[in-house]
């Protein structure tokens, strides 16, 4: 009887144990814990969506997604770069610089970090810092013609015309059909009173891309010696891009004082009165 009782009690404990286990399993749900690799893939997917939203002009949504991607994976410099781009688009320049510093701490050998920093510094009018950042980026990527061109533009702003011309020339050697650099050499040479060379450079730029800027630049160069051609070129330029009628806009495009003065005289020509009025009306 005693042994039977022991066996009965033991059997009861075993049944209770298995019953409790089954009961616990029924109450506690199964959870999937993602691996680090899964989280990294998810953050990359989110960052790609953020970049697409940025491309389509949905800046605020892009910023929110980029922030989420960085929260999931803060060790990927590419995610910090995308976040910085979204912050720049939302005019959060201080935050963008912080993000770029984070990216640099992770990997300091990525040229895009320094090019992005330069872009931010230019937006907040810190030309010296912009120049330093560009120089660092170019050391990593010495054949980036756009970065070299941008460095030349900074020297153009500083009125270091010879330095700017050398950098534009370096950019053109890498990409011979880079008409923007050819055009900006024309801008620089005009300020150095080398009008004949400016004419050749503007003509060269036009032969690659018939853009409003070299068209109007050439018109301003030839206005004294060939007024008829200057008027034709100016009409074509204003029709292509009315913004060039505006002094401040041309200044943003780095036109120097001498070329600006010549252009203002040209645009006062009676034969351009209707074209100038039409261009100004399109800017309102």
- The CA R_g of the chain, rounded to the nearest whole Å, is 32
Mean pLDDT value of segment 244-268 = 98
For residue 264, the enclosing domain spans 177-284
pLDDT in tens, 106-123: 999 999 999 999 999 999
In a domain, 278, yes or no: yes
Model confidence band, residue 18 (pLDDT cutoffs 50, 70, 90):
very low
Handedness of CA 108, 75, 98, 50 (dihedral sign): positive
- Angstrom CA distances, 25 to 17, 22, 91, 133, stand at 12, 5, 52, 59
In a domain, 259, yes or no: yes
Residue 123: predicted pLDDT? 95
In a domain, 206, yes or no: yes
Quickly tell me which residue has 């910023």 as its tokens: 63
Q: Which of 75, 76, 51 is nearest to 65 (CA)?
A: 51
pLDDT in tens, 151-196: 999 999 999 999 999 999 999 999 999 999 999 999 999 999 999 9
Give the mean pLDDT of the chain: 88
Listed in sequence order, the residues at least 6 apart from 166 whose beta carbon sits closer than 8 Å to its beta carbon are: 152
Paired tokens of 265: 């005289």
Residue 21: predicted pLDDT? 39
Residue 215: predicted pLDDT? 98
In a domain, 219, yes or no: yes
CATH at residue 252: 1.25.40.10
**pTM above 0.85?**
no
Query: What string of DSSP letters covers 205-230?
Result: HHHH---HHHHHHHHHHHTTT-HHHH
DSSP summary character for residue 28: S
Q: How many domains, in total, are found in the chain?
A: 1
In a domain, 221, yes or no: yes
pLDDT in tens, 42-61: 776 687 787 788 778 898 98
């Amino acid at each position: 009887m005693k042994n039977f009782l022991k066996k009965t009690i033991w059997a009861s404990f075993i049944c209770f144990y298995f019953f409790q286990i089954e009961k616990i399993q029924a109450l506690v749900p199964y959870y999937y814990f993602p691996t680090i690799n899964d989280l990294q893939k998810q953050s990359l997917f989110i960052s790609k969506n953020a970049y697409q939203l940025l491309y389509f002009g949905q800046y605020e949504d892009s910023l929110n997604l980029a922030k989420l991607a960085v929260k999931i994976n803060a060790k990927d410099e590419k995610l910090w770069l995308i976040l910085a781009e979204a912050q720049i688009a939302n005019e959060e320049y201080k935050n963008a610089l912080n993000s770029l510093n984070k990216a640099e701490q992770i990997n300091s050998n990525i040229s895009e970090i320094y090019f992005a920093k330069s872009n931010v510094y230019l937006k907040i009018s810190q030309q010296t810092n912009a120049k330093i950042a560009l120089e660092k980026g170019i050391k990593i990527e010495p054949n980036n013609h756009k970065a070299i061109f941008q460095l030349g533009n900074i020297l153009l702003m500083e009125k270091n015309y010879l330095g700017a011309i050398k950098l534009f020339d370096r950019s053109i050697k890498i990409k011979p059909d880079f008409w923007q650099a050819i055009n900006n050499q024309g801008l620089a040479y005009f300020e150095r009173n080398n009008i004949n060379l400016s004419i050749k450079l503007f003509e060269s730029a036009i032969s690659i891309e018939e853009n409003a800027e070299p068209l109007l630049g050439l018109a301003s160069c030839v206005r004294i010696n060939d007024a008829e051609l200057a008027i034709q070129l100016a009409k074509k330029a204003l029709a292509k891009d009315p913004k060039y009628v505006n002094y401040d806009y041309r200044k943003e495009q780095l036109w120097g004082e001498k070329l600006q003065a010549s252009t203002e005289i040209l645009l006062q020509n009676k034969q351009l009165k209707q074209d100038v009025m039409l261009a100004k009306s399109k800017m309102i």
